[in-house]
Amino acid sequence: MSGTRTPAALLLTALIGCVGSLTAVVGRADPPPEFHQAPASAASLENPVRGQSGAATAGSKLYAAHCAACHGRSAEGAGNIPALAHSRVQGVPDGEVFWFITRGSRSGAMPSWASLPDEQRWQLVTYLKTLVSAPSALPAPPAASLAPISAPPPLPPFTDFRYEAPGAVHRIRVGDLPAPYATRSAGNPPTIVARPADVWPMAPDGFRVQLYADGLATPRVIHVAPNGDVFVAESGGGRIRVFRGLNADGRPERSEVFSAGLTKPYGFAFYPAGPDPQWIYVADTDAVVRFPYRSGDLKATGAAQRLIDLAHGPGHWTRDIVFSADGRTLFVAVGSASNVDDSDTSPAEKLRADILAVDPDGSHLRTYASGTRNPSGLAVDPFDGQLWCVVNERDGLGDDLVPDYITSVREGGFYGWPWWYMGPHQDPRHAGKHPELGARVITPDVLLQPHSAPLQLAFYQGRQFPAEYRGNIFATSHGSWNKAVRTGYEIIRVPLRGTGKADGEYQDFLTGFALANGQVWGRPVGVTTASDGALLVTDDGSNSIWRISYVGDSG
């Protein structure tokens, strides 16, 4: 996040953090009084430009310039940012939306924007109320400055995208963390642009990067079937796609839709392990379902069987799954409904911000680990069967708090959210609450740049890369929005050095998805090892899949 943000920009980026709270009450004729303690008078505030086409047009220009990068040009949503078209936002009273924008949230996720002129706040409300269906086209956002960002360099061990380079080594320790609010909490969502013709992802020497597939509908989690077929969840398209073969250009020879009509599919897993799985389990945002599968199937041969319902609604929508090494347990990652709501008093947080466990037939649902704000990615280390995850930590405490992380997961472990973080550090927004939990908070294995938004991880099991890569963790970083100069937008490597243990170090591996001026053309999400040992990475910024192969030292 760079440069000076206009009031309109700050308002719109703040909405990104609060829209989950808005959607918690939309669609109800009588919003509950606990909605941010809004007074009864808020709903009765009259929108002076309600229904006026000119006001909606003005609001659409604000949206195109400052909101579309995260919510999508057609308001379809992206990543952890919910859709606004076809959504329940239309049911929130105009005055209540206006009041919330003006007042801000008690948690600090959204500051007050009372300084913004009333007219602009009402224009935005008016435009949001037109999104009953997705607009076919939005006004083009104004061109951003092409000048490189000139902000001062970050203070180590913290960094930003300008200093990310293949092979660069990072390590953040708990003792490095600043105090809460040491810097102002920023609102700086990325402006997504087309990849310039002369720009390509950058990998270490000896590696080649090829475009494996493009034109996809929000590609997210990616896995390889035992027979070598590549499956990917197209979350935006509600489907699972499968690729087969590889031609001379590094592209698949065949592409088919395995299943469609899903609800924001994200994680999926083959079961049982081995060369002949019988099922593909898929995590929709509201349920875990499974399809019959036989090796080589390119189309689902039966209807989805619904196994368990999952908490869903506002907030983090991704649901990842992975089976334990012995196949007896299915782990399910469910992100929080909010940034930092007190889960004691927020019913929407029930069975969220947790890693759940369930038997393969859908029975015996229980909590395996808790206090994980958004455990977007799960993986089991084939070396020792240990469960690992990546977690997106909370926002609103400043540029360098709270670190996102990669960690092994302990059964019964508590990782702090929402009251604590990184060991015995209490979130000031919950000061004095649950003192008995402070000593229980587990410090994660690898602390990452705050707000970098890691989404997936995979253990490299191929033999194409040099030997020192074998068994290492590769993880994706979707990129920041709550940081003054953005960070992330890369693939990182965590060396385990044959021990199955991480010592806190991680390295930049694949970079270059952000331009020097701070615009972004790519956002990595999923990562897996192909059957030939290449690395496959999904990118929902350019709606592509990238293939990274080792070709040997050039020197």
pLDDT at 87: 57
CATH number of the domain within which 103 lies: 1.10.760
pLDDT at 65: 53
pLDDT at 79 over 90: no
Place of tokens 């006026």: 52
pLDDT at 119 over 90: no
Domain housing 18: 7-128
Quote the percentage of the chain above a pLDDT of 90: 73
Structural contact between residues 494 and 501, judged by C-beta atoms closer than 8 angstroms: no
Weakest mean pLDDT among 49-53, 72-76, 191-195, 277-281: 72-76
pLDDT band at 71 (very low <50, low <70, confident <90, very high): low
pLDDT at 77: 54
Same structural domain, 423 and 495: yes
pLDDT at 26 over 50: no
pLDDT at 4 over 60: no
pLDDT at 18 over 70: no
**Run of H or E including 474:** strand 473-477
Same structural domain, 72 and 210: no
Weakest mean pLDDT among 70-84, 347-361, 526-540: 70-84
Residues 331, 235, 393, 34: is their CA dihedral positive or negative?
A: negative
Q: Is residue 232 part of a domain?
A: yes
Q: Is residue 195 part of a domain?
A: yes
Same structural domain, 402 and 466: yes
pLDDT at 248 over 90: yes
Q: Is residue 156 part of a domain?
A: no
pLDDT band at 112 (very low <50, low <70, confident <90, very high): low
Burial of 407 (0-12, 13-18, 19+ CB in 10 A): buried
Q: Is residue 492 part of a domain?
A: yes
Q: Tens of pLDDT along 448-474? A: 999 999 999 999 999 999 999 999 999
Domain boundary among 82, 106, 128: 128
Weakest mean pLDDT among 119-128, 293-302, 391-400: 119-128
pLDDT band at 318 (very low <50, low <70, confident <90, very high): very high
Same structural domain, 192 and 43: no
Q: Tens of pLDDT along 328-380? A: 999 999 999 999 999 999 999 999 999 999 999 999 999 999 999 999 999 99
Here the tokens at position 123 are 């224009």
Same structural domain, 185 and 92: no
Same structural domain, 102 and 200: no
Same structural domain, 275 and 413: yes
Same structural domain, 244 and 366: yes
pLDDT at 97: 78
Q: How far apart are CA 313 and CA 419, in angstroms?
A: 22
| CA-derived radius of gyration, the chain | 22
Burial of 197 (0-12, 13-18, 19+ CB in 10 A): exposed
Structural contact between residues 282 and 265, judged by C-beta atoms closer than 8 angstroms: yes
Q: How far apart are CA 407 and CA 393, in angstroms?
A: 13
Within 10 A of 323 (CB to CB), how many other CB atoms are there?
Answer: 19
pLDDT band at 545 (very low <50, low <70, confident <90, very high): very high
Q: Is residue 193 part of a domain?
A: yes
pLDDT at 33: 38
Q: Tens of pLDDT along 143-163? A: 556 799 999 999 999 999 999
CATH number of the domain within which 200 lies: 2.120.10.30
**Mean pLDDT taken over the chain:** 87
Same structural domain, 406 and 476: yes
Q: How far apart are CA 376 and CA 453, in angstroms?
A: 9
pLDDT at 138: 40
Q: Is residue 1 part of a domain?
A: no
Structural contact between residues 318 and 346, judged by C-beta atoms closer than 8 angstroms: no
User: Which residues, in sequence order, are bridge partners of residue 292?
Assistant: 279
Q: Is residue 535 part of a domain?
A: yes
Same structural domain, 293 and 373: yes
Q: What is the 3-state secondary structure (H, E, C) of 218-257?
A: CEEEEEECCCCCEEEEEHHHCEEEEEECCCCCCCCCEEEE
Same structural domain, 117 and 209: no
Strands ordered across the beta sheet of 473-477 = 169-171, 505-510, 490-494, 473-477, 454-459
Same structural domain, 35 and 173: no
Within 10 A of 497 (CB to CB), how many other CB atoms are there?
Answer: 12
Overall number of domains in the chain? 2
CA distances from 125 to 11, 35, 99, 129, 187 (A): 12, 18, 11, 6, 19
Q: How far apart are CA 352 and CA 338, in angstroms?
A: 10
